[in-house]
Structure 1
Amino acid sequence: MLKQFLAPLLLAVGFHALIIGLFLIEWPDDEVLRVAEAPLYISAALVMPDAPEKKVGQQKTPKPVTSKPVVAPPKIKPKPKADQEKKVVKPVVPILVEPAPLPAPVDSVKRESLAQDEAMAALMAAVTEEIGRQAVTNDEQILAYIGQVQRDIVSRWSRPPSARNGMQAVLRVRLVPTGEVVDVGVEQSSGNEAFDRSALLAVERSARFQVPSDPNLFEKNFRSFTVLFRPEDLLL
């Protein structure tokens, strides 16, 4: 039991003796014990506040987004073309439809003359065809067609008042196999322009002659031939 209190007792006695010894020691007055103060370091840290917990039950309903009305730009009315550029108004020219001129009245005498010429021409054509059928030789056929050509020209020849005996004009006439006149010209002039002109008109008015259907006879005698005009008669 004594051993249990001996150790703490000795320790307490030793501690008190040490304190008394310190008071008994004479410390110098001019020396001041300086204790180095350790710097105080402050550690700062940024503490973020905790985010508030969202309550599921109190979720805010999003506000409906109201669409802003679209304002259309004002339409600019186009200016009338009359303001932009002046139109040149062209006068309207009316289309006149004139009736065709009435044909000049045909004198009864001329009408009868034309009818006679047509009848004579038809008769001559019939006679020529008949002669051609009846002719035996080629020469007879040629003479028959020549006679018909002479009669056709004489029937359409109007001699001018200036025609005199002794005048003569030679024309060159060219035909195609159908008998149509394709060219006529003065090969020898009579010296009188009116006489030459009347001869040309006679051939042009005939326009077409009866010619042989035999190509050989046509080429030799009627492809190109001359006609002699004299006031008193007509010769081929």
Structure 2
Amino acid sequence: MSIPSQLAQVRQAIAECEKAAERVSGCVTLIAVSKTFDADVIRDALEAGQRVFGENKVQETKGKWPQLRKEFEDVELHLIGPLQSNKAKEAVALFDVIHTVDRKKIARAIRVEMEKQSKTIDLFIQINTGAEPQKAGIMPKDADAFIGFCQGELGMTIRGLMCIPPVEENPKAHFKLLRKIAKRNGIAELSMGMSADYPEAIKQGATFVRVGSAIFGHRPKPHSSSDTGLSV
């Protein structure tokens, strides 16, 4: 199937999930995860009307998106991969939303760069709901304190929370945990659910789902350990 056809199928499936969960139509935003795919492939999705995309790495994004954004000016780019503090400057310049704030050093670096660049971007805190040592994200037991640090000490607005459940576990409990943490901290947005589990994520309150392979097809396995757990 073509990318426009696959994109249409995912959009229809999301609409059906919203209806089944008795949620407002259009309340879930589809992030088309275009990491590892080149500009020509991405352009097919852009020409089919998709405008919200997710990328995993600053350097890869820098190489292909500036030209695409000249052609399609209303694109919204989300960073969904781990961020190093030395890449904060470029990340703030390139992206509209960062989903992977997960430690004080990164939060401080992003705040400094937003001030320097006079640019405000939306921020999500990544929660490691499975407490997996190889995966990025703040531990659930530390989530409230870290959210308080970002909002209080740094004065940052946290738009939402993000999680990537362990691949071998039922994601439902992890989605529920993320929703619980968000609710008690007064955070409205939930970035959860990927190609294999976004219907369940929508049932549990996701407002953003990150879908890649169901739209673009399967990609090669990542070579970097920093991508662990980020198959979408």
With normalisation by structure 2, the TM-score equals 0.20
* Structure number with higher relative contact order (C-alpha < 8 Å, ≥ 6 residues apart): 2
In our comparison, the structure showing a higher alpha carbon Rg is: 1
Larger strand proportion of the pair: 2
Q: Which has a greater percent of helix?
A: 2
